[in-house]
Structure 1
Amino acid sequence: MTVNTLLDAGIEIGVVTSVLGSRARHDLMRLGFPIDHFFLLQGADDEPAHKPDPKVFDKALKLLSEKGITRQEVIYIGDALMDYYASRDAGMGFIGVTTGFVTQEQFELEGAQACSSLTEIVSVLQA
């Protein structure tokens, strides 16, 4: 699993989603994601700001800062243009994943890098 590969490499993993937190937790657990190893799982009901507002990342950036990680070192992976706008405006990196909401061409037209799968993103991160 791609997430385990990243965790094993010492990469901090967190989730900031537009889905309700309890629903996201349930779905991620059902799919076998190691959420106990994530530094954050933030749902839409956990914070007042919502994407594309860059303030949606305030809690995540604070937690990462406490670990010595700057916003310039953070890469947010998302599947919607609002994900890109929020991360760009928060001063973070971004990689789009083309899961059906947005095509690679649409991401690239907006200035975002994009990949077709999470597995491909690992290759991009290692490059």
Structure 2
Amino acid sequence: MLKAIIFDYDDTLVQTRKTRYKTISNLALEEFKYKINVKEIDAAWGLPADDFLIKLFGKFTSDLNLIWKLYLEYSIKDKNVPHDSSFEFIEKYQKFLNIGIVTSSSEKVVLRELNELNINLDYFFFIQTSDYTNVHKPDPNVFLPINEKLTFNNIQKNEVIYIGDSPSDFYSSTKFGYNFLGIAHDPRYKDFFLNENINFVENFNDLEKYIVEMQNYA
């Protein structure tokens, strides 16, 4: 029986890639007079927050505090955008299930964005960011902090499903012992899910149908 859903954050709940490519491009051009290209951003995407910023901007300065200051200033100008019905789904199903987040993004970014979107943080039993562990996806041990919370509530691994958009989400969660469901908002990893015969949905309306079929929560 399903008792908990854990979500990836970036590109699963919110359209971070689309939003932050603009942020990163503007920051690089305006602060460092550098026209960054998509391949450079792609190469850093998915890294833990500090490593992500160092890979992008470390060639210009070794001052991580400065990079963070600039990134936060620029990201405020570009509000992140939820995927359709993502938080409506969470608002509804947090009444029946434990809902959590595990992300490689930093707490200061994720909590600020959720507050900007007027999301009730009480919907989540735990929001685990990069600040909570020294390991990150695809390392399965990334789930140790949140799993400790679940174990305290007598929830077993086979009663948990992790929902994410990338191969690293799949490998880390299944190696840890969780169930996995892909979400393919765009074609980026759809072929991966198809080729590996991994269950996936394409949006939150389909996710609701999937959960209802599993649990009859309608």
TM over 0.5: yes
Query: Are 2:90 and 1:3 equivalent residues in the alignment?
Result: yes
User: Do 1:3 and 1:33's aligned partners in 2 also have CA atoms closer than 8 Å?
Assistant: no
Letter in 2 for 1:30: E
Q: How far does residue 105 in structure 1 lie from its aligned partner after superposition?
A: 3.0
Q: Does 1:17 align with 2:103?
A: yes
Corresponding residue number in structure 2 for 1:107: 193
Q: Deviations over 1:6-61 (max 9, x none)?
A: 112x2101100111111111112222332223111111122111000010101111
Provide, for residues 67-107 of structure 1, a one-character-per-residue CA deviation record: whole Å limited to 9, x for no partner: 11101110001111100100010110111111337333321
Q: Count residues with an aligned counterpart.
A: 126
CA distance in 1, matches of 2:165, 2:159: 20
**Matched residue type, 1:5:** K
Partner residue, 2:134: 48
Q: Which residue of 1 aligns with 2:202?
A: 116
Evaluate the alpha carbon distance shift between residue 101 and residue 36 of structure 1 in structure 2; reply closer, same or farther with a 3 A threshold: farther
- Which secondary structure does the structure 2 equivalent of 1:22 belong to? helix
- Of 142, 164, 177, the residue aligned with 1:91 is 177
Distance 2:114 2:102 in 1: 13
Paired residues of 1:22 and 1:43 also in contact (CA < 8 A): no
Q: Which moved more, 1:80-89 or 1:95-104?
A: 95-104
Which stretches in structure 1 are left out of the alignment for 5+ residues? none
Q: Does the CA-based 8 Å contact 1:80-1:101 persist in structure 2?
A: no
Gaps of 5+ in 2: 1-87, 214-218
Are 1:78 and 1:84, in contact at CA under 8 Å, matched by a contact in 2? yes
SS in 1 for 2:91: helix
Letter of the aligned partner of 2:94 in structure 1?
L
- Does the CA-based 8 Å contact 1:104-1:115 persist in structure 2? no
After superposition, the Cα gap between the structure-2 partners of 1:17 and 1:29, relative to the gap in structure 1 and judged at 3 Å, is same
Aligned partner of 1:58 among 118, 137, 144:
144
Amino acid at match of 2:160: V
Flag the structure with higher helix content.
2
* 8 A contact 1:6–1:122 mirrored in 2: no
Displacement of 1:111 after TM fit?
A: 3.4
Give the % identical residues: 29
